Structure 1
């Protein structure tokens, strides 16, 4: 595939803004669902992407945005430690990324595939979607008309749209739901009119050092770490370069980890590599890392426009619920696809045990209490999956 990277500065700016809008809907949806200012997420995504490019020597065309894998854990941790404590716990996610970077640099990636094979990752990805299904239904139920409009448009774009439009079903669904709310229901526009044009993002700084939420978040990082590795390989194929070798997978992992570290210190959602932007690159054939940095800077600028934040906060929860009905089901489907694509033997009793126990502990709401430390949800299920994979004997014919 011929790359189109010899662009004028003006065209690079246009493509960069376009890439941001591909990631915009998903990036702002995460903070809206966990009770954060969307401007903070845009600011963190922009700064995090620039940190990533600095660490990777400006060679890897990747954009970092809010990760859906952390919605349920942040909600659970907020109930236990408060929102400030939950967000500070993201430090644990950063530590996992940094540790993985060191291990990959020392031993390569084979040990990761031993710890986290598809039979472990598949059900964990499924849980990310399934654990939030009740929240999606609850939000949609507040106004089924808006929810169905947003859901229908998102589905139509997913199935029938072409080009860049096909990559922004979330964005299109939210716009359609918001317009329907304006036309048929009552949207309070007063906060938007009252908002300042220039406004700094609302940062939630750590109140005190808390080890419990950090330990709570550490197991949750397993799925995003594997997702990161997969995304880097996809970017390799799109850009026709081997970023695993140069600048090295350990550098991309470290860049993502430091970006998460920054997010934890300002009270923003964790960030991860965005497959939607990679898809946009495959369509436009523009893989110049400079364009991704333009997208990051544009996100930072948007985060300082107060009326943008006020507009996003005025979106009816039912609109978001409608989008979530599709989105979280799609995530669960991605976990199933991971198992099938990796040719996991579902007739194996060993694999069935790992998948079954992982799903039931996660969906059933199992909680492990050890003093002040609480493990629950996706984090606990991730530990269960890893331990079962290491402990249960593997038949020779499946090895």
Structure 2
């Protein structure tokens, strides 16, 4: 059985719309909070962490609710359509609240917008495994992540061309462009993917596959059952798991600090105007996309841990160099390209190490733990780094990132398990990273 790439690309349109939104959220909302409402870095960081706080509660809730939903158009589609519709409405109101400098209205609309995004984020992610046979989900997840990258790059291009100079440009054209992308993407998804019909079709495909490959499927089921028996982790493996989870927290803290504050940092320290900062973020995203396949091949040869360590070193060097960097755009872009490659090296290999260590135990539990640590970092770091930006100096951003990245290197040195060398994957499977 082969993966239907056409169907998977269409399913990935929902993730594309989500990624496009989060790119402008991380880049533009901090500028609004500071330039229009004159909030300090600490308060701005606290508000920027709000989406991750809400996500801890909303993602499991709406994922569970969509599991139990049964409508004519499917169980995920009502959440995707409703969430997108509400999110786009609130997205269009936000620039008006910013222009009027009405902080109360802005906070209310922002909160409603994050609720709307939480409404359909989990159902959108769950749509892929719903409509993809189990043994093809790795390849499918690669396509989904690629679609997300396309959404992020689109948003960065719009930032570059639609954000004008000055402290308070008109952000409505930018928000309208991303809102339009969200509407078009989800409408195409709805019109081309009939959820209930495709679900029945996939079920029939799986049954046909099982009838041809009965013995292989039986063996796979037995292996899955054996692995599903919850057993406590051995002491040495548990120690490695703890150090890996600490590493995940630390490198997310470093990376998220930069991505959240970069639009403000470039204006204050490097005196960039308008959407010029988007160039560096776009370079990092594109470099990561290009490097996934070579990194997958590298990890199959030298192992996951060494690949991650190389990624941490690469990012640490770039963070350290950025401390002394001026407005040399070509050099800044080279540094961000290397950051993108380093981040890809980390993301491609960290979750598989978690899964490898959790074999024979509760893989689902440790998957949740993985996201808990990464999300906790993204709650803490905007506030902590924001406090330093406000109370000390903007120039603390890259020393902050370097310190957390260097600490992640030290904790990874203590990870002794989860480093089996996987067989070389073909093509897109190397993109199989976090949602």
Q: Provide the TM-score with structure 1 as the length reference.
A: 0.24
Larger Cα Rg: Structure 1 or Structure 2?
Answer: 2
The structure whose RCO (Cα within 8 Å, separation 6+) is larger is: 1
Q: Provide the TM-score with structure 2 as the length reference.
A: 0.23
